[in-house]
Amino acid sequence: MIGNIIWMVLFGWELALAHLATGVALCLTIIGIPLGLANFKLIPVSLLPLGTEIVRTDDPRQFV
């Protein structure tokens, strides 16, 4: 928890704002919409990365 707080204060808010700005910019074009949505999904991970588990959803063995 302490590590997440330090990360958010020092780096996380800048990364979250960068993901927000690039997501909005990419969503202005039709081709960039999927990439913009992916940027929006990265905002919580960039704010609080420690303890977050990233799981692939396209792996069929994941749910076994």
Total tally of structural domains belonging to the chain: 1
Q: Return the pLDDT at 57.
A: 72
For residue 18, give the H/E element and its range: helix 13-26
Residue 30 counted as domain residue: yes
Domain, as residue range, for 11:
2-50
Q: Is the pLDDT of residue 40 over 70?
A: yes
Cα gap 31→48, rounded to integer Å? 29
Task: Let me know: does 26 contact 32? Beta carbons within 8 Å.
Answer: yes
pTM value is 0.72
Residue 60 counted as domain residue: no
At 6-30, the pLDDT tens digits run: 888 888 899 999 999 999 999 999 9
Does 53 or 40 have the greater pLDDT score? 40
